Amino acid sequence: MKNSLQDITVLDLSRVLAGPWCTQNLADLGADVIKVERPGPGDDTRSWGPPYLEGTTPEDGYSAYYIAANRNKKSITVNFRSEEGKDVIKRLAKDADVVVENYKTGSLARLGLDYDTLREINPELIWVSITGYGPTGPKAENPGYDYVFQGMSGFMSYTGRAKGEEGAGPIRAGVAIIDLMTGMYATTAILAALHERERTGKGQQIDVTLADVSVALNANQASNYLVGGVPPTQTGTSHPNVAPYDVFEVADGHMILGVGNDEQYRRLTELPDFELLRGDDRFQYNRDRIRLIGELRPIVAQIMKQKTMDYWTHVLDEAGVPFGPINTMDKVFEDPQVKHRGIKIEADGHYGSVPMVRSPLVEDNADATAPPALGEHTDEVLAQFGFTAEQIAQMHETGTV
């Protein structure tokens, strides 16, 4: 699968996370992704540190954040606010298959680099705009950030400790979950558009917004409200639809108990430690366990904290009851399954070897390349698209690239 897009060229005009996450997916699948950056600072996230890769300085623009979303790409710098720079973008777009951009609505149109302009020179072009709210509507002109949409969408209204508990209140996700999922939805849309182009020979414009994705990401919580009519609220670590499906304190830490159905609950109660619950018909069915969660959870919590992590790991594994640790990041990469799957990879780049997390889309990242240094491939890419050595030298002199 990793070379399935090897004949596809992607012009990446995006920066920060949602767009670069999308184009990194495409690069992992073999697409030739050309990351267009501003001369000087480049992608905003290059300066989002510390930490920076060991051996580099902040001025190198090689932060860990940038590394996370930009492997397997080529970087060129273009000042496309200049006329010469606009011509460069048009030349690249003429032969590209996909353009991904996340500029504020109307920005590229004012520069004459919007979809309507570029499809005139490339009717097969697939254009993906990633914006906060979309090109129309009462909020179309508003800037949009992941954190804002975690709140606006309702996500934070049910994420956090329950009312009455210490530390209660809305909590954001630990990563920019809306940006990441927007990048994934955009990837899916591009793959579908490429398939459709095979049938029709036509490109298209795709509109992906953080607002739409953030509401869709509510998934079962949105469905719970639409069907049940009651807005969800914070439940801490408890699941709103399944029980006991929660974090529990054990003698030497915390772990997750993930009872996903009535059969798993029956197996749990057959353990000697859970004898107290074995004949209690109140909790036989999940619907009743959810209704009586306030009575069930304290019983399970009291049982769990009597034994150690190692004990529960052995006992629950033997019983076929889902469970898991709450790992710190150092323990994640020491997990035997993570090691077996080769999730951590190393790739050589301009600044040496770079540790990264491989794409879940491909099993073998042995030939992955590290995220590029700013403008590392400018001359190479321009030559690839037909610019002469003299033209490239002239553009360097004028600050176009």
Query: For the chain, first and last CA: distance in Å?
Result: 34
* Domain membership of residue 35 as a residue range: 9-217+361-398
Amino acid 144 reads: G
> ω before 244 within 30° of 0 (cis)?
yes
CB 385 within 8 A of CB 91: yes
> ω before 50 within 30° of 0 (cis)?
yes
Residue spans of alpha helices (H) in 42-134 = 64-68, 83-95, 107-110, 115-118
CB 71 within 8 A of CB 48: no
CB 375 within 8 A of CB 401: yes
Q: What's the CATH code of the domain at 250?
A: 3.30.1540.10
Residue 192, classed as helix, strand or coil, is helix
Treating both helix axes as pointing N-terminal to C-terminal, what angle do 177-200 and 18-28 enclose, rounded to 10 degrees? Answer: 50
CA separation for the pair 188, 1 (Å, rounded): 15
Q: What is the pLDDT of residue 366?
A: 67
353 falls within a domain? no
**Domain identity same for 289 and 377:** no
Last residue of a domain, one of 326, 353, 379: 326
What's the DSSP call for residue 370?
P
What's the DSSP call for residue 210?
H
CA separation for the pair 236, 190 (Å, rounded): 36
**Domain identity same for 52 and 137:** yes
Residues 6+ apart with CB under 8 A from 90: 113, 118, 121
Q: Give pLDDT tens digits for 65-82.
A: 999 999 999 999 999 889
**Domain identity same for 250 and 317:** yes
Last residue of a domain, one of 302, 326, 350: 326
**Domain identity same for 168 and 286:** no
233 falls within a domain? no
282 falls within a domain? yes
Q: What is the pLDDT of residue 104?
A: 87
What's the DSSP call for residue 3?
T
**Domain identity same for 211 and 251:** no
Treating both helix axes as pointing N-terminal to C-terminal, what angle do 309-319 and 262-269 enclose, rounded to 10 degrees? Answer: 120
Residue that has been written with the tokens 């949105």 in this structure: 222
339 falls within a domain? no
Of all residues in the chain, what percent are helix, strand and coil, respectively (each to 5)? 40, 15, 45
Residues 6+ apart with CB under 8 A from 352: 53, 55
Q: What is the CA radius of gyration of the chain?
A: 25
337 falls within a domain? no
237 falls within a domain? no
Q: What is the pLDDT of residue 1?
A: 65
**Domain identity same for 169 and 314:** no
**Domain identity same for 107 and 199:** yes
Residue that has been written with the tokens 């590290």 in this structure: 370
**Domain identity same for 152 and 294:** no
Q: What's the CATH code of the domain at 207?
A: 3.40.50.10540
Q: What is the pLDDT of residue 397?
A: 92
Nearest to 206 by CA among 187, 227, 230, 179: 187
115 falls within a domain? yes
Say how many domains are in the chain: 2
Rounded to the nearest 5°, which phi and psi values hold at 271? -70, 145
- What is the H or E stretch that residue 188 is in? helix 177-200
**Domain identity same for 291 and 143:** no
Q: Give pLDDT tens digits for 342-361.
A: 999 999 999 999 999 999 98
341 falls within a domain? no
Last residue of a domain, one of 326, 346, 380: 326
CA separation for the pair 4, 195 (Å, rounded): 12
Output the CA torsion 356→384→112→209 (10° steps): -30
Choice among 97, 146, 179, 246 that is catalytic: 179
**pLDDT values of the chain reduced to their tens digit, one per residue, 401 residues:** 668 899 999 999 999 999 999 999 999 999 999 999 999 999 999 999 999 999 999 999 999 999 999 999 999 999 988 999 999 999 999 999 999 999 988 889 999 999 999 999 999 999 999 999 999 999 988 888 999 999 999 999 999 988 888 888 898 999 999 999 999 999 999 999 999 999 999 999 999 999 999 999 999 999 999 999 999 998 888 888 999 999 999 999 999 999 999 999 999 999 999 999 998 999 999 999 999 999 999 999 999 999 999 999 999 999 999 999 998 899 999 999 999 999 999 999 999 999 999 999 887 776 889 999 999 999 999 999 999 999 999 999 999 99
- Tokens found for residue 8: 């596809």
**Domain identity same for 172 and 291:** no
**Domain identity same for 194 and 274:** no
Burial 283-302 (b: 16+ CB within 10 A, else e): beebeebbeebeebbeebbe
What's the DSSP call for residue 102?
-
Q: What is the pLDDT of residue 22?
A: 98
CB 48 within 8 A of CB 21: no
**Domain identity same for 78 and 207:** yes
* Catalytic residue status for 116: no
Q: What is the pLDDT of residue 150?
A: 96
CA separation for the pair 373, 59 (Å, rounded): 11
**How far from chain centre, in Å, is Cα 87?**
32
Residue that has been written with the tokens 């920005």 in this structure: 107
